Chains A and B, each alone.
Chain A
Amino acid sequence: MSARVLVGVKRVIDYAVKIRVKPDNTGVVTDGVKHSMNPFCEIAVEEAVKLKEKKLIKEVVAVSCGPQQAQETIRTALAMGADRGIHVEVSGKDYDNLGPLQVSKILAALAKKEETSLIILGKQAIDDDCNQTGQMTAALLDWPQGTFASEVVLEGDKVKVIREIDGGLETVRLKMPAVITADLRLNTPRYATLPNIMKAKKKKIDVVKPGELGVDLTSHLEVLRVDEPPQRQAGMKVETVEELISRLKEAGRM
């Protein structure tokens, strides 16, 4: 019962928003757009809080890297049941260049500092769609990884993970400490209740700079441009099944 879990949470544009590419093709419009916690991160937080409720772990620490607003995302995690937060403050140009490599270096440094036995992250962020940070964090720490987890069972100093793979499911057993990334089916995240949101305001968020963790944020990736994807031609409505089949036959699709 001495284990401490680190949960990474990312603030992203809300999943329901239809994004717009900036006219100068440098990125997508984020100003004035609704942001929320990345859905996969919510699942990671829920899993960590559930492990604590089962008294299998001692403390849940929520971490987010980014500008001041990242603290709102950490507050959400605290309201869901995380014990305390760490805000790794990154802003301006550094934030524009912040990718999975930099975030994994930060998480690995924090994992060592906080004597962590488990890191739980979402499997991917719905903005960059990278699906890299968990794997890279595990690599930097030389810890095993249980990615795309749909079930997590702590077994003493090991953790059994059922993973979602292309043809079905796969079970692996990892020596702790380990890194786990959450798939959609791992759990259903709870809603933070008003009393818990109030309580979360009293919980502590430490603010640290990447430099204090010894992490260099240099990036070797350059985004040259961001474009709208090609739009599909407007289609046609057909009236009957027969018409549909004959159109598809004409088009050589059947």
Chain B
Amino acid sequence: MIYGMIYIIMGVISRAGTSVQFQSTLVVAEHTNDKLTPLTLNAISAARKLGDDVSCLVAGTGCAKVVEEVSKVLGVKKVLVAQHDAYRGLLPEELTPLILASQKQFQFTHICAGASAFGKNLLPRVAAKLDVAPLSDIIEIKSPDTFVRTIYAGNALSTVKCNDPVKVFTVRATSFEAAPVEGGSATKEEVTSSPVGVSEWIEQNLTKSDRPELTSAKVVVSGGRGLKSGDNFKLLYDLADKLNAAVGASRAAVDAGFVPNDLQVGQTGKIVAPELYIAVGISGAIQHLAGMKDSKTIVAINKDPEAPIFQVADYGLVADLFKAIPEMTEALKK
């Protein structure tokens, strides 16, 4: 009875935002059945800023390997496992009831995922079902109810207080360190939901590449309209190989058909923050800068000295890329 009273009092304190003790967070894991997607580790780090009670949901058709992987991640206390054919393709119509059932059982104060195509597709659906307003792509956690996110293509920072009983948000991976993949020993628990059957996953066509994944690469070499053709992107691939870099692109290069859409860096493409970003033949439109201006060092190679990209570049080279890039690749061979 007395303990109950104490719990109630502390619950009130925690709701007032003065304590983080009673926060419990569910991180929805993104994976390919074989492997955990790296940005889930960044989401776990964000969750740990809210308190120690971090659970991770792994749903899929055959996810034993991923469950093992997640249970060793430092800071994960519990792994909720949901294995069923209905979770093929991780459709939001099927995952939402599963998350709602988990929420009903465990009463999380926070539900989050990485701000990838997966997280952006799923979490707003969950939030609407809980009748709460979600927060997209947060870059900072000020307190359990106060978050920072960018608006207007990264040209303003908005600090938002969420007064909903459950906070649902997606995490910008580049703003939080990845959680260590060792040192954890989470317990496992099964969760279930009934298949909904209003949508069907048909297939995926993934762009194959041996290069590092764009959003987590340490070095990114990006090309724009200045490359003039898809064939000329080979110049960038050669340079990227010397630097063990991922290759990105501006919208202009994607729209012109030089490279596939999933290489697009920007407000509506991927957000990257590598140690080194080399922008080649990219003018630097607001929408492109939104996706790369948090890179530690930015290099611009452009023949137009007035290109806006030079305003954010740490090192700018005004030169013809068709000469400068092969020269650079050659110099790095030595």
Contacts and interface: CB of A to CB of B under 8 A. Distances in A.
Contacts of A254: 243, 276, 332
B136 A130 contact: yes
A28 interface: yes
Contacts of A247: 315
A223 B160 contact: yes
Interface stretch (B75-83, B88-96, B175-183): B88-96
Interface centre among A13, A138, A221, by most chain B C-beta atoms within 10 angstroms, is A221
Given A168-B206, A244-B317, A221 B163 contact: yes
B152 A19 contact: yes
A25 B202 CA distance: 47
B160 A220 contact: no
A130 B149 CA distance: 10
Contact of A235 (B153, B205, B267, B314): B314
Interface string A136-152: 11111011110110100
Contacts of B92: 135, 145
A101 interface: yes
B262 A245 contact: no
A144 B152 contact: no
Interface stretch (A3-11, A51-59, A172-180, A197-205): A172-180
Interface residues of B, number: 88
Contact of A165 (B126, B204, B316): B204
Contacts of A235: 298, 310, 312-316
Contacts of A219: 133
B262 A165 contact: yes
Interface in A155-178: 160, 163-175
B151 interface: yes
Contact of B136 (A28, A129, A245): A129
Interface string A206-223: 000000000000011111
A76 interface: no
Interface string B161-200: 1111000000000000000000000000000000000111
A244 to B, nearest CB: 5
Nearest to A251: B297
Interface string B293-313: 100111100000000001111
Interface residues of A, number: 82
Given A166-B117, A226-B156, A226-B157, A238 B317 contact: yes
Contact of B121 (A28, A143, A145, A233): A145
Given A168-B206, A226-B156, A241-B324, A144 B199 contact: yes
A227 B157 contact: yes
B331 A148 contact: no
B157 A169 contact: no
Contacts of A236: 314-316
A228 interface: yes
Contacts, number: 249
Nearest to B277: A253
Contacts of B219: 253
B170 to A, nearest CB: 9
Contacts of B132: 101, 220
B297 A166 contact: no
Contacts of A139: 96, 124-129
A237 B152 contact: no
A225 interface: yes
Contact of B299 (A100, A184, A244): A244
B51 interface: no
Contact of B156 (A21, A132, A166, A220): A21
Given A136-B128, A147-B121, A148-B121, A253 B275 contact: yes
B18 interface: no
A248 interface: yes
Interface centre among B123, B128, B131, by most chain A C-beta atoms within 10 angstroms, is B128
Interface centre among A135, A164, A165, by most chain B C-beta atoms within 10 angstroms, is A135
Interface centre among A183, A228, A238, A244, by most chain B C-beta atoms within 10 angstroms, is A244
A249 to B, nearest CB: 10
A163 B155 CA distance: 28
A213 to B, nearest CB: 16
B262 A170 contact: no
B118 interface: yes
A166 B286 contact: no
- 9 smallest CB-CB distances across A and B, nearest first, come from A139-B128, A136-B128, A135-B124, A132-B124, A171-B202, A144-B199, A168-B206, A235-B314, A167-B206
Given A171-B205, A226-B158, 5 more contacts: A18-B286, A28-B151, A168-B260, A223-B160, A227-B157
16 contacts: A127-B151, A129-B150, A131-B120, A132-B124, A135-B92, A136-B125, A172-B201, A174-B198, A174-B199, A221-B135, A227-B157, A232-B293, A232-B312, A244-B299, A251-B314, A253-B276
Interface of B: 89, 91-93, 96, 116-118, 120-129, 131-137, 146, 149-164, 198-207, 215, 219, 243, 251, 254-255, 260-262, 267-268, 270, 275-276, 286-287, 293, 296-299, 310-319, 324, 327-328, 331-332
Interface of A: 13, 15-16, 18-19, 21, 28, 40, 99-101, 104, 123-124, 126-140, 142-145, 147-148, 150, 160, 163-175, 183-185, 219-229, 232-242, 244-245, 247-248, 251, 253-254
